[in-house]
Structure formats: C-alpha cells, structure tokens
C-alpha cells in the first residue's frame, strides 16, 4: 500500500507539472494575442474571444501532447478527450467563481483568482491520466 502511494505521488509530481504550467502561461499569452489581433481586425468581442480561445485550445493540445506529456497515442482520440477535460475544467472554474462571489460574498477579482485552482487542478489531472496517459515501464517500476 505504501509503495502504491509513493508511486502515485511520484507520478503526480513529476516534471509534467512544471511543463504543464509553462504551457499554460504561453497559451494564455498566445490566446490573448489572438483575441487582440481579432479585435484589431474588427471581428468584435465575442468572435475575437472565441477565435482566441480556439487558437489557444489548439496550441495547448499540441504543446501538451508533444512536450509536456510526450504522448505517442492516437491524436484524434486524445483531442476529443482533451476538449471534454477543458470544458469540464471550465465548468468547475465557473462554479467555484460563482460560489465564491454569490455564496461566500468575495469580490469578483478574488473569486476569479480562486476559480483558477479547480481549473488548473482538474485540467492537469485530466490531461495527465485521461488525455495523455503513459504506461509505466519496468525500469520506472524498479526506480520506485
């Protein structure tokens, strides 16, 4: 049992956490740049926002697939699951924000910041274990 807990802890806190966080920063800057470009081109706020988020989603999938998790499986299947994980993460984020603001009475800025926690946590875990899972090799098992 202790071996399983140590193995789980090692799997949760490997270099993918740092890489996933860096991809998140790059993705945020890229998505925001795309939104601003679309606004500059006169597409309007809603279309610009949708465009930016779609561009960000594609970049995030590509970077996380290739760099963060070094995934070698079926890309289309992974993309569909990735989209489901991101939508679920967003809904968790929105729920947390609304609870923080309307039930607890926090201001919107703090509520929005708190919403990052369930989004980042669920999206990382979903990507790590559902979207881009990897099999533990015998040499990795010997290291634990």
Q: Is the pTM of this model over 0.75?
A: yes
85 and 130 in contact (C-beta within 8 Å)? yes
Where are the chain's structural domains?
2-143
What per-residue confidence (pLDDT) applies to 2? 61
Q: Which residue has the tokens 């594609």?
A: 58
What per-residue confidence (pLDDT) applies to 98? 96
- Check pLDDT > 70 for residue 120: yes
């Amino acid at each position: 049992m202790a071996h399983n807990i140590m193995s789980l802890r090692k799997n949760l806190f490997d270099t993918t956490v740092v890489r996933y966080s860096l991809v998140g920063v790059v993705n945020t800057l890229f998505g925001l740049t795309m939104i601003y470009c679309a606004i500059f081109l006169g597409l309007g706020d809603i279309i610009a926002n949708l465009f930016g988020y779609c561009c960000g989603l594609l970049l995030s999938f590509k970077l996380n697939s290739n760099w963060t998790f070094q995934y070698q499986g079926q890309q289309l299947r992974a993309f569909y699951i990735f989209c489901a994980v991101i939508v679920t993460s967003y809904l968790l984020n929105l729920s947390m924000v609304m609870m923080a603001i309307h039930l607890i009475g926090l201001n919107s800025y703090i509520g929005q910041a708190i919403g990052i926690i369930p989004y980042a946590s669920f999206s990382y875990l979903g990507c790590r274990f559902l979207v881009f899972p990897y099999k533990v090799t015998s040499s990795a098992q010997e290291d634990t």
